[in-house]
Amino acid sequence: MPPRSTPPPSRPVGAVTRGTTNPNRLRRMDRWIAAAHGPALRRADDPLAVDLGYGAAPWTAVELLHRLRTAAPRTRVVGIEIEPARVAAARPYERDGLRFTHGGFEIPLPGRPVLIRAANVLRQYDEDEVAAVWARLCARLAPGGLLVEGTCDEIGRRHVWVALGPEGPRTVTFATRLGSLERPSDLAERLPKALIHRNVPGEPVHAFLRDFDRAWAASAPYASLGARQRWIRTVRELSADWPLTGAGSDGLRRWRQGEVTVDWAALAPNSR
What does the alpha-carbon distance between residue 167 and residue 74 come to, in Å, rounded to a whole number? Answer: 26
pLDDT exceeds 80 at position 266: yes
Q: Return phi, psi of residue 104, to 5°.
A: -145, -140
244 pLDDT more than 90: yes
| DSSP letter for each residue of 196-248 | HTT-STTSHHHHHHHHHHHHHHHTGGGGGG-HHHHHHHHHHHHTTTS-BS--S
3-state SS track over 205-218: HHHHHHHHHHHHHH
Q: How far is CA 138 from the centre of its chain?
A: 13
Q: What is the pLDDT of residue 190?
A: 97
Query: For residue 250, what pLDDT band results from cuts at 50, 70 and 90?
Result: low
Across 165-185, average pLDDT: 95
- Cα 94 to Cα 61: distance, rounded to the nearest angstrom: 10
Question: Distance between CA 54 and CA 82 in Å, rounded?
Answer: 10
Average pLDDT over the chain reads 92
pLDDT of residue 271: 84
CATH code at 27-264: 3.40.50.150
- Residue 179's nearest CA partner among 232, 215, 228, 218 is 228
For residue 2, pLDDT over 60 is answered with no
Query: Is pLDDT at 248 greater than 80 in this prediction?
Result: no
- Reported as a single tens digit per residue, the pLDDT across 87-103 is 999 999 999 999 999 99
Q: Tell me: the pLDDT tens digits for 8-43?
A: 346 888 777 776 777 899 999 999 999 999 999 999
Comparing CA positions, the residue from 43, 26, 40, 38 lying closest to residue 166 is 40
- Terminal CA-to-CA distance of the chain, rounded, Å? 56
In tens, the pLDDT along 186-238 reads: 999 999 999 999 999 999 999 999 999 999 999 999 999 999 999 999 999 99
For residue 179, CA distances in Å to 207, 228, 229, 237, 258 come to 24, 9, 12, 20, 10
pLDDT of residue 17: 75
Q: Where are the domains of the chain?
A: 27-264
Torsion sign over Cα 139, 55, 197, 233: positive
- Amino acid sitting at position 142: A
Q: Express each pLDDT in 103-144 by its tens digit.
A: 999 999 999 999 999 999 999 899 999 999 999 999 999 999
Residue 6: pLDDT above 60? no
Instruction: Give 3-state DSSP helix, strand, coil % of the chain, rounded to 5.
Output: 40, 20, 40
> Whole-angstrom Cα distance, residue 235 to residue 219?
10
Give the model's pLDDT for residue 106. Answer: 96
**Residue 5 binned pLDDT confidence (cut-offs 50, 70, 90):** very low
